[in-house]
Chain A
Amino acid sequence: MTATETQARGTRRGMRLDFHVLGPVLALVALIVIGILLNPNFLSYGNITNVLARSAFIGIIAVGMTFVITSGGLDLSVGSMAAFIAGLMILVMNALLPTLGVSVATILAGMATALVAGLVAGAINGLLVTRGRIEAFIVTLGTMGIYRSLVTWLADGGTLSLDFDLRTLYGPVYYGGLLGVAWPIIVFAIVAILGELAMRHTAFGRHCAATGSNEQVARYSAVHVDKVRTATYIMLGVLVGVATIMYVPRLGSASSSTGLLWELEAIAAVIIGGTVLKGGYGRVWGTVVGVLILSLIGNILNLTDVVSPYLNGAIQGVIIILAVVMQRGRAASR
């Protein structure tokens, strides 16, 4: 343990290239180069905006997921939770329409609903894991099924749609932006920066790592392990709410197929970014790189005809495994 740490520090001091850290960045650069070579429109303003904006949902969630995984937890329910919160938001906003009308107040009420629902859902997951002493995998597998069924039930098996005029008013939250940068990208960036600061420079970040690394030791070191764990789930829940706030104005609808497999994409992004699945070490900026890698693969495959679309999933799978193998390989040989 001490030996590795000293070595790692030595490497950093010596300014030698640390492939353990650079692996995902190299993969991202390689993908960008491939994209440029395959299609001249790849670097166009429109395409870059599209890719970054669509990464924002998974990205915002994945930042929260980084904390949960770092502290030794896991959350499989985020995709279903996003679908449920989106459905709830739409129902609340449509219900407020007669009283508040097509106004900013209605939309703010919808946003508040999303944040509160996310907080409550996250707290339920967190308390069941810490107070209920149930494995995170099982708790969130259960809530995953519950939220997915609830949204199907709310939508009566169909699709919940936001009132057309409200959607027009709300639309700029996804489609609009500041100085040419779309709002989802700005929100994603802010969440990522705050996440990085929290992970690196606050006691909370260090407590997450300590809890995930060795719960007993953390407990003896006066870390409130249960509080830290619960807090990570609540934070993730709120971030799912934030992601949903950005998601709903895009198509103005929610159905049982909303947010399908988001949890796995978020977890994959976290792991590609260098966070350890078993907990104990997390890297928020790595997660951001992981999210970008995943959305660039889809984008590049759509922009070219090189590979049969049937193989999209296979290519994503190979890249996920390669990215992790590269890190682990270099890390072991260090």
Chain B
Amino acid sequence: MNFRSHAAIAALALAALPASAQETAVIGVSIPAATHGWAGGMNFHAQEAIDRLEATYEQLDFVLATASDPGKQVNDIEDMVATRNIDALVVLPFESEPLTGPVQGVADQGTWVTVVDRGLSQEGIEDLYVAGDNPGFGRVAGEFFAERMPDGGNIVVLRGIPTTIDNERVEGFQQAIEGSGIEILGMEHGNWNRDDAFTVMQDFLSRYPEIDAVWASDDDMAIGALAAIEQAGRADEMWVLGGAGMKEMIQRVQEGDEMVPANVTYPPAMIATAIELTALNFVSNAPVSGDFIIGSVLVTPENAAQYYFPDSPF
């Protein structure tokens, strides 16, 4: 508690300085490299937010580093502190455990810390926490199933890589469909991967003669599952709900595709939210410390246009 107010005072002092002396504040941004679709979108939105803010505010300077593993990310952060003298750090931790110590070290020096998406394993280190809502992601999907299948039915579920994120989503989903008469025939890990999802879906199709819908829980897996369903010639029997808001899938929702009736967002653009809020701390008096949870929204043909980013790689 004591430390937090300390950090806040330090941050305030830093925030006050540039305003009077027109000194630049340096904001370091450390994120995982674009090794899969969602991370690619996140990199795109981070770069876009930085370009926009640098053009708008003369007094802000940004350092962006992308890391391919937790060790590299720790090195990036150390370099930022040592050579660029950053006033704030926006970090999307590769993994919670290995990054907690180094980020705590940065915070101890009075630097403003914004943590995005994956929380640190110790509470109270960051000034601002921006994240998506994983249980909510599952719940919104589950509610959509319950609403669309009022008389119940048989579904299969493709899960992601076995992680806390995946567990929270699946628990949220199961709670939301409880008592709706929807039966989950099978659940297998498709590892957020198109090829794995294709294989798992093929086997589900061989195993169950009656499937009414598929919760693919991710757009990459939805693409794999859709290909398997089309191959089996059972496209008119079932529909697929993906998630995360990949542009190709949002487009299909927008066009009213029967097999892709909706989508659930888990926006990679949350990194932009985090960078903008952090910048606000240095250019305005608006208080931005605390937790900022970005809800998962159901995307339907009616509101799809709002979630379609044609330039993003994701």
Contacts and interface: CB of A to CB of B under 8 A. Distances in A.
B195 interface: yes
| Residue among A42, A46, A157, A256 having the largest count of chain B Cβ atoms under 10 Å | A157
- Of A50, A303, A305, which is in contact with the most chain B CB atoms at under 10 Å from its CB? A50
Contacts of A312: 189
B35 A157 contact: yes
23 contacts: A39-B206, A39-B207, A41-B206, A41-B207, A47-B203, A47-B206, A50-B202, A155-B313, A156-B40, A157-B34, A157-B40, A158-B40, A161-B248, A175-B231, A250-B198, A250-B227, A251-B223, A253-B223, A255-B194, A255-B220, A299-B203, A302-B199, A302-B200
A159 B36 CA distance: 8
Interface residues of B, number: 38
B235 to A, nearest CB: 13
Contacts of B248: 161
Contacts of A159: 37, 40, 220, 313
Contacts of B203: 47, 50, 299, 302-303
Given A298-B199, A302-B188, A157 B43 contact: yes
A23 B313 CA distance: 48
B199 A157 contact: no
Interface residues of A, number: 32
B37 A302 contact: no
Query: Which residue among B33, B35, B203, B223 has the maximum number of chain A CB atoms within 10 Å of its CB?
Result: B203
A257 interface: yes
A310 interface: yes
B132 interface: no
Interface of A: 39, 41-42, 44, 46-47, 50, 54, 152, 155-159, 161, 175, 250-251, 253, 255-258, 260, 298-299, 302-303, 305, 309-310, 312
B137 interface: no
Contact of B36 (A39, A50, A255, A299): A255
Contacts of B198: 250-251
A46 B162 contact: no
A156 B199 contact: no
Contacts of B199: 54, 298, 302
B314 interface: yes
Contact of A158 (B34, B193, B207): B34
| Most B-side CB within 10 Å, residue of A42, A156, A260, A312 | A156
